[in-house]
Amino acid sequence: MYLHAVSPQPILYSYFRSSCSWRVRIALALKSIDYETIPINLIKDGGQQLAIIEYLEETRPTPRLLPQDPKKRAHVRMISDLIAGGIQPLQNLSVLKQVGQENQLTWAQKAITSGFNALEQILQSTAGRYCVGDEVSMADLCLVPQVANAERFKVDLTPYPTISRINKTLLALEAFQVSHPCRQPDTPPELRA
């Protein structure tokens, strides 16, 4: 996934299912930035989406995706890093291929539950309506795609009431809906909603 920030309209090279692409799509939607999507069937992508989001935040600061207070910003980045650097890389497609068909589900579930155990605990002290307080932040952009992955890998979410509650609240927002994998130009018909 790659954002080409040309004027007048940025181009997002995106893969409908990629949680990394989804995070950036949410940011673009929240900031009301019009963009063109060029679908690429990308099996592997790195963590560069956070660099894109920080870039968008610096060049298009409204609405803000990072709180003004440095401690709260650190909380947002800590949660984002935990998801985008601690959970997602372990269950992305290229790693699962290497793990082998028969071990994929167990491997992914272990990566996600181990990360969610830490995340649920952190959120209990940082969350308001959303991951950090009552404003949508970069942490929320990371949360929703990761919960969707958890559901795809049939992770039991009962032990994570805070994660589940915030996810549900966020999915009701338009920016999270228009950016959803089931509504992208490259979404196959059978996965559309």
Quote the strand ranges of the chain, DSSP E: 2-4, 11-14, 36-39
Q: Minimum Å distance from CB 168 to a second copy?
A: 25
d(CA 161, CA 183): 27
Cβ closest to a second copy, residue 54 vs residue 186: 54
81 touches a second copy (CB under 8 A): yes
Secondary structure of residue 12 in the 3-state scheme: strand
For 55, residues 6+ apart whose C-beta sits below 8 A from its C-beta are 3, 5
64 touches a second copy (CB under 8 A): no
59 touches a second copy (CB under 8 A): yes
74 touches a second copy (CB under 8 A): yes
32 token code pair: 């009301």
CA neighbor of 36 nearest in space, from 4, 62, 82: 4
Rg, Å, the chain Cα set: 16
Q: Minimum Å distance from CB 111 to a second copy?
A: 8
Cβ closest to a second copy, residue 110 vs residue 183: 110
95 touches a second copy (CB under 8 A): yes
d(CA 61, CA 65): 8
| Stretch 23-52 residues interacting with a second copy (CB under 8 A) | 44, 46-52
Give residues in contact with a second copy (CB under 8 A): 44, 46-52, 54-55, 58-59, 70-71, 73-75, 77-78, 80-82, 84-86, 88-90, 95, 98, 107, 110, 114-115, 118
